[in-house]
Structure 1
Amino acid sequence: MRHLCYFILLALSIFQPLKSQNLDFNRTLRADFIFSGNVNKQDISIEELSSFNGWAGRRGHLDEVPMRGNGQLCLQDARTKKVLYRHSFSTLFQEWLTTEEAKKVNKAFQNVFLMPMPTDTALLSIELYDTHSKVASTFSMIIHPKDILIRSLDGLQTAPYKYLWKSGTSDNNIDVAIVAEGYTEAEKHSFYADAIIAMESLFSHEPFKSRKDCFNIVAVALPSQNSGISIPKQGLWKQTALSSHFDTFYSDRYLTTLNLRKLNDALQGIPYEHIIILANTDNYGGGGIYNSYTLTTAKHNAFRPVIVHEFGHSFGGLADEYYNDTQFSDTYNAATEPWEANITTHPKDSKWKDVRGAKMYEGAGYQAKNVYRGFENCRMKTNEHPEFCGVCQRALNQLIDFYTK
């Protein structure tokens, strides 16, 4: 009897934290937002709340974020104001705000966020930060988990998928979904072959190589009406599942999608935290947005290095270390320390002074002056370099620990 009591108490001690956090880890709350405005004024609007079975996100460090990001979401108990869940992110909208176009017109962008379902009334808030790390826009609303207008997505048709690598359950592994874009139904097998190349490319680089057992990789064969990807500069528009295209912000190689609702709808019924989209084209390009998605060409001969680089953005929150792209030359201000782990504007107070071999090289974040990187070369600087530098590897390792420990 004494042993039975001990195991009962042990079980209660294990499950008690989950109860005290007022979260239901058997269900996900999804919040669809519209971020809109221009360089002078930004607005945040809720489009819809929905929910579905399961939770594939982290179970630990719920009230923390691993890095500041360009924005943060916070879910709090409405009565006690205790933080239940916090999430950091970046958005295409905020990138657009740094362009010339944002000085002339208003635009709106979709954004989708997932969180564990609260079991009681909760306060959901959003903050967006400007390039000086100051709060630029805020939003808050009360969420009642039994609200009859929270749409249930259970039973939504799931796209065809298969696991390429599975280390375990979502409870303690990082779930990455690789999604097809611009592949017709007849090209499904070509997509699966490309997805395997993408996975193998990631797992050939440290720290993903030695931390492979922390990940689950699922390939989602989302079918498109047309084969290929839209290239507006060439007058080429394709009917694809996610309507992605090159020439984002009039930058030739910037490949993105604005259809985040469609993207997340397509993944219902499949555990996912991080998203890689493979574009069926040999035109060079890609894009990676922290805690949103990676999108990269799958038929170009630089596919392997590019997908690793872009995943460094979307998963790792790493900054570009090259400095020859004038499109975003004002992204980093010399007076403001970047939140990204691999660049700095404060060379005398190095945040990588404990990394073996790291020095201070001027030129990073698209700027030749006043922004610094830790190594002469890195996968975040050039496609030709075979690995992440020591600074980036440390940052990625810390992030993997954050999600799994």
Structure 2
Amino acid sequence: MPLSPLHILRFCAAMLALAAATAHAAQPATIRVDYTHSGNALSDQYALERVVVEPLPWPGSLAQGLDNTDRGQNRVEVVDAKTGDLLYSRGFSTIFGEWRTTDEATKASRSFQESVRFPKPAAPVRVRVLKRDERNQFSVAWSVELDTDAPDVVRKQQPAPAWPIPIRVNGASPDKVDLLVIGDGYTAADMKKFEADAKRLADHLFTVSPFKERAADFNVWGLAVPTQEPGVSRPSTGVHHASALGTRYDIFGSERYVLTLDNRALREIAQHAPYEFIEILVNNDTYGGGGIFGQFSTAAASNDWANYLFVHEFGHHFAGLADEYYTSPVAYAPSDKRMEPWEPNVTALRDPAALKWKRHVLAGTPLPTPWPKAEYEEHSRAYQKRRAALRAANRPESDMNALFREDLAFTGKLFSQAPQRRTVGAFEGANYEAKGFYRSEMQCIMFDRSERFCNVCNDGIETIIDLYSGK
């Protein structure tokens, strides 16, 4: 079908914006290493699949090649093979890392696709993937020697299945944080809806501090490959839809957990836009989302809580923020250890004098900090039973949304009467555990469906913005 003049104008405008954002002196090519990560709860292995030169130049700042944030369950390091000099590093986490904490991982082995990306080096390198050990320190898990000019490096690929849409472009990619919003479950007739959803949710992100104050440091792009049917798969209800990304609900048996396990498909689509971070919008109204630090996040775009889902899940993906809630059922088995979490917004409080956010704590604040925990938990037990009953009965999503509003209203009223309402301290109950882990404030986007990040989460986000915007 021939393109209309309007479509041609929009396409040309998009290409001009893309050219302006990616045109930057001396930017090297983007290298992607695809590999498999397999194993179970007790052991894991890595195997190289292929090395790819992506179609677009490196989108990141060359001034910030090394990551000193100490975030993530893993870290990639690119080292000059001859001199041993560290050229590039980034922290990240993986779907495998989450899966291995599930009950299934104690009974079976699985394989997951993963990728790391870095600016093309001038000489052969050693790529190392590190993981945290029992001391919570990084040690090398896998190392591979690579010559990115070798004959078997993939340099030519299929044409782009879709073209990126500029949602907001504030400058050249190396000077900005590039966020790519990818649509899944949008048909060809839904493309205008996808663009509107992406713009609406990106606009909301930049009303929330600290993204609000740092909005000029971001570019946002949209990209969607049309599907035959609207919406993505939700196997627990018998709904199965094909899509290029394969995003679905019910990941690891959690009805609200939405991810794609097809990393290769995701990367081959995403490579046609400048990106450092990805949020996948699914064209569904059922509550759900997910977020993996340094990989991607997801959100149900048509749910009443889409604004919250977009921001909360992006907090996981972008800044490695931990979940601060602890009364909702999750797919992960609780740990019998209480190591200090690497996430910046939760703590095991082993040494109150060395609390990692102590600069925010006023003198005289008790640690742990009292809050109406018993009342909150009593209400939450009843709320979770009602929530499970609604899902079991396959009730309309409007019933679930009403329950969420009721729950948030109860929490807001309960907390408004607490003396420590706006105190920064150490409140027990976080990281999916009622005891042994602590959050910094009573309420935060990472704790419930409220509207603001706590001060500690703000700090954690600002650090990553600085890292990727070259500040």
Tell me the TM-score normalised to structure 1 length: 0.90
The answer (yes or no) to whether the contact 1:225–1:241 under 8 Å persists in 2 is: no
1:333 aligns with 2:343: no
The answer (yes or no) to whether the contact 1:329–1:367 under 8 Å persists in 2 is: no
Cα 1:332–1:253 change in 2 (3 A) is farther
1:152 aligns with 2:155: yes
1:233 aligns with 2:299: no
Query: Does the residue aligned with 1:275 lie in a helix, a strand or coil?
Result: strand
2-structure distance, mates of 1:130, 1:116: 28
Partner of 1:352: 357
Partner of 1:303: 306
Cα 1:332–1:61 change in 2 (3 A) is farther
Cα 1:310–1:243 change in 2 (3 A) is same
Q: Residues 46-195 of structure 1: matches in 2 within 5 Å?
A: 46-52=48-54, 53-129=56-132, 133=136, 138-153=141-156, 156-195=159-198
Partner of 2:383: none
Please tell me the residue identity of whatever aligns with 1:369. Answer: K
Q: CA deviation at 1:26?
A: 2.1
Among 36, 44, 47, the residue aligned to 2:46 = 44
Q: CA deviation at 1:57?
A: 2.1
1:395 aligns with 2:463: no
The answer (yes or no) to whether the contact 1:281–1:298 under 8 Å persists in 2 is: yes
The answer (yes or no) to whether the contact 2:103–2:333 under 8 Å persists in 1 is: no
The answer (yes or no) to whether the contact 2:177–2:217 under 8 Å persists in 1 is: yes
1-structure distance, mates of 2:295, 2:341: 19
The answer (yes or no) to whether the contact 2:126–2:146 under 8 Å persists in 1 is: yes
Q: CA deviation at 1:152?
A: 1.0
How many pairs are equivalent? 380
2-structure distance, mates of 1:130, 1:320: 22
Please tell me the residue identity of whatever aligns with 1:173. Answer: K
Among 346, 363, 372, the residue aligned to 2:438 = 372
Q: Residues 218-297 of structure 1: matches in 2 within 5 Å?
A: 218-297=221-300
2-structure distance, mates of 1:288, 1:402: 20
1:35 aligns with 2:34: no
Please tell me the residue identity of whatever aligns with 2:427. Answer: Y
Cα 1:174–1:228 change in 2 (3 A) is same
Please tell me the residue identity of whatever aligns with 2:425. Answer: K
The answer (yes or no) to whether the contact 1:322–1:380 under 8 Å persists in 2 is: yes
Query: Does the residue aligned with 1:401 lie in a helix, a strand or coil?
Result: helix
The answer (yes or no) to whether the contact 1:28–1:117 under 8 Å persists in 2 is: yes
The range that moved more, 128-137 or 304-313, is 128-137
Q: CA deviation at 1:89?
A: 0.4
Query: Does the residue aligned with 2:205 lie in a helix, a strand or coil?
Result: helix
Please tell me the residue identity of whatever aligns with 1:370. Answer: G
Task: Show CA shifts across 1:245-287 (max 9, x none).
Answer: 1111101111110111111111233111100100010111100
Please tell me the residue identity of whatever aligns with 1:51. Answer: V
Cα 1:398–1:268 change in 2 (3 A) is closer
Q: CA deviation at 1:131?
A: 7.1
2-structure distance, mates of 1:229, 1:154: 27
Unaligned runs of 5+ in 1: 1-23
Task: Show CA shifts across 1:71-122 (max 9, x none).
Answer: 1111001111000000110011110000100011111111121100111011
Q: What is the alpha-carbon root mean square deviation over aligned residues? A: 1.7
1-structure distance, mates of 2:66, 2:461: 20
Runs (4+) of structure 1 exceeding 6 A deviation are: none
Cα 1:38–1:137 change in 2 (3 A) is farther
Among 187, 193, 201, the residue aligned to 1:198 = 201
Please tell me the residue identity of whatever aligns with 2:62. Answer: R
1:381 aligns with 2:447: yes
Unaligned runs of 5+ in 2: 1-25, 362-422
Q: CA deviation at 1:64?
A: 2.6
The answer (yes or no) to whether the contact 2:67–2:91 under 8 Å persists in 1 is: no
Cα 1:47–1:344 change in 2 (3 A) is same
The answer (yes or no) to whether the contact 1:32–1:47 under 8 Å persists in 2 is: yes
Tell me the TM-score normalised to structure 2 length: 0.78
Q: CA deviation at 1:363?
A: 0.5
Query: Does the residue aligned with 1:315 lie in a helix, a strand or coil?
Result: helix
Q: CA deviation at 1:236?
A: 1.0
Cα 1:355–1:332 change in 2 (3 A) is farther
The answer (yes or no) to whether the contact 2:50–2:153 under 8 Å persists in 1 is: yes
1-structure distance, mates of 2:336, 2:130: 19
2-structure distance, mates of 1:302, 1:167: 28
Partner of 2:402: none
Query: Does the residue aligned with 1:266 lie in a helix, a strand or coil?
Result: helix
Cα 1:235–1:131 change in 2 (3 A) is farther
Taking only the aligned residue pairs, the percentage that are identical comes to: 34
